[in-house]
Amino acid sequence: MPLEGRIRLVAASLMLLHPFLSNRSAVEAADRPNILLILVDDLKPVLGCYGDSLAITGGIDKLAARGMRFDLAYANQAVCAPSRFNLMLGSLSTSTGMYGLGVNLREQFPNAVTLPQHFKKHGGYRTISIGKVFHVGHGNLGDPQSFDRVHKDKVIEYVLSASRETEISKEEVFFELSHLSADQRREFLKGKNIGRGAAIEMAEVADDAYADGRTAQRTIEYLKKFESSGQPFVLCAGFARPHLPFSAPKKYFDMHPLEKFSLPEVRDAPEGSPPFALRSKGVEVRNYFPFNERFDDEAFQKEIIRGYYASTSYVSAQIEKVLDALDETGLSKNTYVVLWGDHGWHLGTHNRFSKHDNFEQPTRIPLIIAGPGIKPGSVTRQLASTVDIYPTLAELAGLPAPDGPQPIDGISLKPVLNDPDARIRDHITHCYPKSKFGWAIRNQRYRLVQWGDPAEPAKCVYELYDFQADPVEKVNIAQRHPDVVAALRAKFALYPQPVLSNAKSRNTKNRSADPIQHVKPSGNAPMIADRPLTITGRVESLKGDGVIVAQGGREQGYAVHILDGRLAFDIRVNGKVSRVVAKDLTPKAFDLGATLTVKRIALFVNGRKVGEAPSPGLIPVQPKDGMSIGRDELSAAGNYTAPNPLQGRVAKLKVSPGEQVKPFPKPINNDRLDE
């Protein structure tokens, strides 16, 4: 055989024997495109390139001019940790059951292959995480095994002493102590007062005084290294602003005079919307001053809007530095750049400053993709969602399509990147679990939100919004257009039934919508940090276990629940649960009491003390998860699997921080579960 033929034969044999070579496509390893994934926290499309006349975002606008802007891109869930799981797994929250902040990926999917792992496995890529990529904090540890190197930086950051009420702020405890064990956190916080931090900080400092400036610098350093090495890379650069607090150098605030801002047109909940559609207006922001004191002050709300725009200008300037470095190194010729916001934010719409719901403002996101073969300055109205990014980048890089083992729900947007008028789907889906499970379908004209048990759609409550007639969601028109509701509701059948707990399997017993009507919480979740607690209430028709009341999640909180037929009280302090359980089985109907003091935790049934234990101390930090009655939404406050719905009815419930309720109600009957 001639030498040339023998060489071809050896090469073919190597292709069959070597798993890396056998898996690669027509794109040769040496020519693999690089991936620069820019993640921006809480970023909605208030950007110049999206037509916002108030925005000053030259860096992001420059990227849009290079590539394709998706005008109808949506988060799959409007909260940080789950949205980043959606991105890195290509999986919907409804497919994984990972809805909360305190859920760790490897506890649910130990063998999951994340986006960077897929690129390393099939393309030999070097994978780097800089800044906020996975959500780290609130009991979530991120996923270090996804990357060759991880460089975390701060999310909550102040440079001025006046920006904290005390030595350390509550949000810093949530975010910045995650690298410590529970014992180390307790030791670190010993003797320290924990208070609020400022919602806004403007300081005469350089860009790198805050984390996003440092993230840009480190990203640039890596680009220079990759210029020399020639190794293909997945470089994830995560920017923290415009997530609260709006901490940024003063020069970015100076770009935005306060008088140019006005409040949104829509100040109330949509007409005809269910009461649970909007999250309590105090969620998240109450840990920053002076939100509690001035929330409804219109002058203060304008300051918050200005802070968001200033923070966005700051981040855009850092992104511009990175893009300039990409050009200077020559890497831009063979690099796909993706800019993605993990979810949006209410900037005063419906009198809210938050994410955490299914409306347009928190769910619509910026998505820009630029790189080889993508027409500069192109725009598409193809509906896209976060889960599509993973399979899209894999196809652009010539890698095999992701196949799990986690569910893969996204589809590749490459046909749209080739032709902005191409259409690959007619809707997207997103969700948000509250007292009822909210599951949404969004097409180009409408959004339908179904609230209740997905297995029983006839019993659900619906919202329908027409974005042609009502782009700011003023009126729920579901009852006026049953035909539209029916057509959109049929889209849910295209998806598996949502996983309605954080369990690893699809647990059909833990349905989110409970037909039992529990007493409703009155007002916002109580402020419980550093306060003794007294909880009183009444439970009727008890048939089994479940949560009576819970507030908080994987780091801080409490839960009163039924465990093996007995009343239990869990206190979670810095991730560790202390528990007291009644000795006797609980009656089918009873009045309950639970108390937490510095020294003791105690339980009462029908006015009689049934359990007592040493106290772990008062709950040191206000939990981010709100209060739930009859179940535990989001992450579990107690030592059980959420949502753990009560097999019974909560008829009365009162949580009294900082005061003692006495005496407990007298016994009504002595019916027991075993009689």
Per-residue DSSP letter, 30: G
Residue with tokens 């080739």: 418
The DSSP-derived string for 388-429 is: GHHHHHHHHTTPPPP--SS-------HHHHH-TT--S-S-EE
In the block, residue with structure tokens 């909940």:
269
Report the DSSP beta bridge partners of residue 573.
576
- Provide the CB-side half-sphere exposure for 572 (13 A, CA): 24
Please provide residue 388's backbone torsions phi and psi, each rounded to the nearest 5 degrees: -80, -20
Judge whether 49 counts as a catalytic residue. Answer: no
Rg (CA), the chain: 26
Residue 190: CB partners within 8 Å, gap ≥ 6?
Answer: none
- CA distance readout (Å), 254 to 200, 341, 441: 14, 24, 40
Q: Are strands 576-581 and 566-573 parallel, antiparallel or unpaired?
A: antiparallel
Q: Would you put residue 585 in left (φ > 0), alpha (ψ -120 to 50) or beta?
A: beta
Q: Which of 135, 256, 346, 518 is labelled catalytic? A: 135
DSSP letter at 671 equals -
Cβ neighbours of residue 291 under 8 Å, at least 6 residues apart?
199, 282, 285, 353
Report the DSSP beta bridge partners of residue 378.
Answer: 68
> CA quadruple 201, 203, 209, 212: dihedral positive or negative?
positive
Compute the distance between CA of residue 59 and CA of residue 254 in angstroms, rounded to an integer: 18
Return the C-alpha torsion angle 634, 639, 644, 648, nearest 10. -130
Beta bridge partner(s), residue 635? none
> Quick one: angle between helices 115-123 and 80-89, nearest 10?
20
What are the distances in angstroms from CA 256 to CA 245, 261, 305?
Answer: 17, 9, 10
**Residue of 247, 227, 197, 210 lying closest to 34 (CA atoms):** 227
Closest alpha carbon to 638 in 592, 584, 601: 601
Which amino acid, 34? Answer: N
CA 536/CA 15 separation, integer angstroms = 70
Q: Which of these is catalytic: 80, 236, 431, 460? A: 80
**Phi/psi-derived region of residue 530, left when phi > 0, alpha when psi is between -120 and 50, beta in every other case:** left
Distances (CA, A) of 272 to 77, 275, 347, 489, 648: 23, 9, 22, 19, 30
Is 518 among the residues known to form the active site? no
Angle subtended by helix axes 298-328 and 58-66, to nearest 10? 50
| DSSP-derived secondary structure letter, 269 | P
Please give the Cα distance from 431 to 298 (Å, whole number). Answer: 31
Which of 453, 607, 476, 576 minimizes the C-alpha distance to 183?
Answer: 576
Residue ranges of alpha helices (H) inside 335-490 are 360-363, 389-396, 414-418, 482-489
Reduce the DSSP state of residue 355 to 3 states and report it.
coil
**Active-site residue numbers?**
80, 135
